[in-house]
Structure 1
C-alpha cells in the first residue's frame, strides 16, 4: 500500500471504509513516516478539541435578556416629585451598576482550557538524572518538529540563547512531546502535553514569576517549573542557572500576569455583551 498522504486526517477521524482502515492500519506497522504523520495529526486534533469557548450559563443569559427587554417603567412627573424620584432613581441605577459590575467580575475569570492533568514530575526528575525514559513513543525528526511548531507545539532549536536542542521524542504513549536541550555543561528537559494544570499536584511547588510569566516552581537540583497556556501544559526540568530558566520560559507560550480587578471586570463586560448579542 502507498503512503497515506492526504488520507492521514481521514484515517485519524475514522472516515475511511472498513477495508481502507484495515489496509492503513497494516501499513502503519511497517511505515515510520506514516506512523509519525498519524501521531502528529492526533496531537493536533487533541489540541484543537480543547480550544472550544465555554458556553454562558442559561440562567445568566435569561436574566441578561430580561434586563435588555424590560427596562423599569417611568413614573409620572408628580409621582417623581412626591417620592423624590431623582434620589430613588439614583439608588436604582447604583444598585443596577453594582449588580452588573459584580456579575462582570464573576464571569471575567480567564478560562482554563482542557482536562486537568498532573505531569509525572518525579519520573521526569529521575529521567533527567539518567534513568531510562519510560514509554517512549519514538524519536521525532527535525522536519517533524518543524511541523509540530507550526501546529502550536513549540520545538525551538535553541532556548535561552545557548541551549541547543539535542533530541526530541514522544512520551506517555505518544501524548507528551519530550525535548532535551544542552550547552555541553548544563541541560534542560521540556515536556509539552494537552490539558490544564491540575492544582492538586502542586503541593511541593510555589507560585513565582519567571520570564514575565506566572509559573509554579519546585526548588532543588534539578529545578522543576510548570505552567499551562491555552490548553497546553509545559514542564521544565533543568540544572541551568535561574536567569537562563527565566529566558527559556519567556521564549515559550506563557500565562502572563493575572488580570487585576479592573481588567477582570472589562473582560466580563465584553463577554456579557457577546452573550446578549447571541441571545
Structure 2
C-alpha cells in the first residue's frame, strides 16, 4: 500500500513528465507543415496535458525548471535534425517503466474508484503513443529507412571487403582507393536498379525515389570510406581509418533505426560489426591468395 506522502512525490514526478511532453508535442505541431502530422501531434499534446491535470490533483501545480526548458529546446532541435518520429520514440523509450509504475499505483488501492478509471484511460493513452499514434506520423527518412539501410550497409560491407582484399594484393593506398571507387560507382548503379525493381512489387512505395535514395546513400558511403586511401595515407593506416569511419556511421544509423523500429541497439550493432570483420578477413585472405597464385604485385 502506497502512503499519501509517497503518492504526492510520485505524482509530482509524473506531472512534470507529462507537462514536459505536452509542451514538446505542442511546439512540434507548431513547426509541422503536414496537416495530418500536425493533427496527430496536437492530439498527443492534449492527451499529455490531460494526464498532467490528473496528477496535478495529487501533487498540486508544477512548473518546468530552467533545466527543463533547456532540455525542451534540445529535443526541439533534435526533432528538426533527426525527425519527429525519432524524437518521440527516443523520449518515450522509458514509457514502459512509467506505465509499469502507473499500474503499480492502480493496483495499490491508493486511488478511489473514480480516479482508477481515469488512470486506466491514461495507461491506454501512453500505450497508444508508443504504437498507433507515433507510427502514423509520416517522415521521409522513416518512410525510406529500408532504402537508406540497404545503400549504406551494403556499401560498408562491400567496400570493406574490397579494401581488405587489396591490402593483401598491393602496397598502394591510392590504387586501393581507386579500386574502391570503381567498385562503388558500379555497385551503386546496380543497387539502385535492384531497389527500383523491388519497390515496384511493393505497394505505397515510389520506385524512383527508392532507387535514388539507395544509390545516393551508397555513393556517399563509398566517398567517405575511400577518402583515407585517396588521401595517400599508408595502406594499413588508411584501412584502419576507413573501418573506424564505417563503425561510426554504422553506430549512428544502428541507433537511429533501433529507436525507430523499437529494437535493441547493441545486439544489432555487434551483429553488423561481426559481419564486417568476417568480410574483411575473407577479402584479405582472398587478396593474399590471388597474389600468390598470379605472382603479380601492382
Would you call these one fold, judging by a TM-score over 0.5? no
TM-score, normalisation: structure 1: 0.22
Higher helix share goes to which structure?
Answer: 2
